[in-house]
Amino acid sequence: MKRNKKIVLLAHCILNVNAKVYGLATVPAGCKQIVTGLLNRGFSIIQLPCVEQSCFGINRWGKVKNQLSFPGFRSKCRSLLKPIVEQVLDFYENGYEIAAVIGLDGSPTCGVNYTCTGNWGGEIGEDFGLSAKIASLDILREAGVMMDILQEMLEEVGVSVKFIAVDESNPETCLINL
């Protein structure tokens, strides 16, 4: 049996950059350094859902965490993560190593070390206080909504996993922490 039973959970858009908000793609398809780096190190990959696309589609505007911290979005995170957590638990109970969850810092959904916040919402345009809205945008030193929920769900089933994040300007650095 050749499998080595090492698995990571990876933010959806690292494998599929097309899920990102328009303007944020830094590569044409997915992050080759991370994906090949993981496979070369012997890690299988479970792709996490892109909850933002599921809720708001590919034509959505960029958002901040406080916009997404509402019951319906959290509930959608839970329902999309449920089959993944069940799969993780099955692996875990059968001796597989769940090596890490790899998120994407800055994202309101998939951030790990930091996310974004601000008075962001409503109509867009100077008549609607756009400058003040832009000025209110800031970094928030906490995880994004889906990562909060994923951590809760893994704790509920007794699976302890470290959470790390991709730095898109230096993608291979996240591999050092595995």
Which of these ranges, 35-43, 101-109, 120-128, 154-162, lies near ligand SF4 under the rule CB under 6 A?
101-109
Which amino acid makes up residue 49?
A: P
List the interface residues with ligand SF4, window 32-61 (CB under 6 A).
50-53
CB distance 31 to 14 below 8 Å: yes
In angstroms, what is the minimal distance from the CB of 169 to ligand SF4? 15
Q: Which residues of 118-128 are buried (b: 16+ CB within 10 A; e: fewer)?
A: bbbeeeeeeee
31 interacts with ligand SF4 by CB under 6 A = no
**φ, ψ of residue 56 in degrees (nearest 5):** -125, -5
110 interacts with ligand SF4 by CB under 6 A = yes
CB distance 54 to 80 below 8 Å: yes
In angstroms, what is the minimal distance from the CB of 21 to ligand SF4? 7
Q: Which of 43, 65, 109, 118 binds ligand SF4 (CB under 6 A)?
A: 109
d(CA 165, CA 10): 9
Q: Which stretches of the chain bind ligand SF4, using CB under 6 A?
A: 11-13, 19-20, 50-53, 104, 107, 109-110
